[in-house]
Structure formats: C-alpha cells, structure tokens
Homo-oligomer: A and B are copies of this chain.
Amino acid sequence: MLSTDELALLEAIRESGSLSRAAARLGKAPSTVSYAARQLEARFDALLFDRRRYRLQLTPAGHLLAQEAARLMQDVSRLTQRVKQVAGGWEDRLWIVTDEILEFDTLIPVIRSFDALKSGVTLRITHEVLGGTWDALRDGRADLVVGATNEPPVIPGLRWFELGVMDWVFAVSPKHPLAKAKEPLERATVIQHRAIVVADTSRKTDVRGYGVLGGQPKLAVPRMRAKIRAQCEGLGVGWLPRDRVAGLIKRGDLIEKKTVDPREPNLLYVAWRGDHQGRALEWWLAQLQNKRLASRLVRGVEVDATL
C-alpha cells in the first residue's frame, strides 16, 4: 500500500522543503514527483501536501504518513528478512523449554554460539518443573525440550535421546535435627520434617515434588538453587543433585544421610517433534549430542555456601 519509492518521495519532500529539490534528490523529473504526489493523495483520500505557498509542503497528515510509513517500512524489511530466512530452511522462531533441574547459565555459551550464526531465528527459552516440559511439547509451546525427566510420554512424532543421568543425594543442614539421626533414615523419621520442593510459583500448579512423602509438610521454592540454599539453612530436607552440592558436603555445610528408601538417578532427555525440523532445531540437536556440553548441563553449576 506504500512502496519504498513513495516513502522516499515523502522523506525527500520533508527534508528538502520543496518538490523540485526532492525531484532532483530522487533523480526524477518534477512532473513525475508531482504526478506521484497526487496519486498518493487520491489513494489515501487526504490532503498530504500544502500547495498554498510558493513551495509545496507536507501537511500534518503528510508528516504523520511519512513518519509512520517509515516505521511500517522497517516492519516490512524485517518481514522480508524473515521470509528469506524461512525460505532458506531456518525456522522463524525456536522455542526451547528446559526443566528447572538444569541451570540456565549453562546454556549461555550455546546461545552465544547460536547468535554467532546470525540466522535471524528468534529464540525463546523458558523452563518448566515436573511434567511441564512434556506438556509444553505436546501443546506446541515448545519446539525443543532439554532436560525432561520421567519416561517420554506418547506424543505423535516425538523423537528424543538421553542427555545424561542425574544422581541424587539426601542432604540436611548440620543445624537440622536429622543431621544427628541414625542412618539409614526411616520413612517415619523423614516425614516428620518439612520437605523443600521446587515449584513454578507463577503457576498455581499442584505442588508435588520428587521424593516427597505423602502427608509431608512442604516449602515450595522457585529454583533448584533456592532449594539448595534453603536446605543449607536448615529450613527443610530433601534430595539434591549430587554434583551441585559436592563442595557443600565436602565442607560440611550439608550432611549426606542414607535413607531406607533411596532415590534412583534420573534420566534426562532431549526431545522434539519430528514433523517439522528446521536448521535451527538441527543445530541445537547437534550441540546437545556433544558429550561435554551434555555433561556440563547435567552437572549444572555447583552451589557455593558463601553466596
């Protein structure tokens, strides 16, 4: 509805303050510009040029058109670039959902590498807790899921591979009553103490945590890092990723306790829908198959007691 030539015409008139000078600037005859100006006024059914004085000028409506059309032209440019990108096999956008179990920071180097490709693909990374990652994939709210726990559910076209194995340790603060309790800890002993669980508090989800016993009081916190901090402070008990608290256990800031009911290590998955797979998704899958990166993701960032 407005070509780059027409926008250029408006801008040339605005900047030069004259139709003749605008024509010279555009390398066109004054009659060409005059004709095009009248065409624009007919098309918009509005007076865009003030011809009452010696020199033609933009009216307020003309100024508005020039200004807003420039912005629209930017939108068109961005769209043109996106169209070429999709035509080139890239996705328009890629939605990645990670389990909260993984630390976002560990993905930063991968994001930087992806940025360096200058693909133009809009990236969005969010996280879910518990079964949320699979739900996101099923509902089309994710193109790629990283670090999903539980067995992969039945989703048409679902493809996946294992990212790694996460080992757990039941740990309490030296200040916690269970620190001195006799091992292995009985269910009845554990259930008397509040469990610290990770929950997405932005959602009013049913707060169920891994390894939490029925009827056990709980404190929900938003991130794994917060859970580790809370347990260090003796606010409750629970299972923690072994690698992330190794230093804390070594320093005595957390005490590992054996339990009658041990927790099996978790298999973490990378999963995606196979039905539409563009170059961005393929790039990310190739990265995630790299064993060193996978290991860094699964091990996470070790938590320091002093922070």
- The interface of chain A, by Cβ under 8 A from chain B, is 1-4, 44-48, 59-61, 64-65, 68-69, 72-73, 75-76, 79-80, 82-84, 86-88, 92
> Which residues on the B side are within 8 Å of A87 (C-beta)?
44, 46-48, 59-61
**Measured CA separation A75–B84 after assembly (Å):** 22
CB closest residue in chain B, given A41: B87
**Measured CA separation A79–B87 after assembly (Å):** 29
Contact call A64/B92, Cβ cutoff below 8 A: yes
**Measured CA separation A86–B50 after assembly (Å):** 14
Contact call B83/A79, Cβ cutoff below 8 A: no
CB closest residue in chain B, given A76: B1
- CB A4 to nearest CB in B, in angstroms, measures 6
Contact call A45/B76, Cβ cutoff below 8 A: no
> Which residues on the B side are within 8 Å of A2 (C-beta)?
1, 76
CB closest residue in chain B, given A75: B72
Contact call B92/A79, Cβ cutoff below 8 A: no
Contact call A72/B76, Cβ cutoff below 8 A: yes
**Measured CA separation A225–B47 after assembly (Å):** 48
**Measured CA separation A231–B80 after assembly (Å):** 61
Interface residue from B44, B79, B80, B83 paired with A80 (Cβ < 8 Å): B44
> Which residues on the B side are within 8 Å of A44 (C-beta)?
80, 83-84, 87
- CB A52 to nearest CB in B, in angstroms, measures 15
Interface residue from B68, B73, B82 paired with A1 (Cβ < 8 Å): B73
- CB A10 to nearest CB in B, in angstroms, measures 11
Interface residue from B1, B46, B72, B92 paired with A84 (Cβ < 8 Å): B46
> Which residues on the B side are within 8 Å of A73 (C-beta)?
1
**Measured CA separation A4–B43 after assembly (Å):** 12
- CB A78 to nearest CB in B, in angstroms, measures 9
**Measured CA separation A223–B3 after assembly (Å):** 50
Contact call B82/A68, Cβ cutoff below 8 A: yes
> Which residues on the B side are within 8 Å of A48 (C-beta)?
83, 87
With A3-B1, A4-B1 as contacts: A64 and B86 at CB distance below 8 Å: yes
- CB A37 to nearest CB in B, in angstroms, measures 14
Chain A to chain B contacts (Cβ below 8 Å), 23 pairs = A1-B2, A1-B3, A1-B4, A1-B73, A44-B80, A44-B84, A44-B87, A46-B84, A46-B86, A46-B88, A48-B87, A59-B87, A60-B86, A61-B83, A61-B87, A64-B82, A64-B83, A64-B86, A64-B92, A65-B79, A65-B83, A68-B82, A72-B75
Identify the interface centre among A1, A48, A84, A88: most chain B CB within 10 Å of its CB.
Answer: A1
> Which residues on the B side are within 8 Å of A60 (C-beta)?
86-87
> Which residues on the B side are within 8 Å of A82 (C-beta)?
64, 68
> Which residues on the B side are within 8 Å of A83 (C-beta)?
44, 46, 48, 61, 64-65
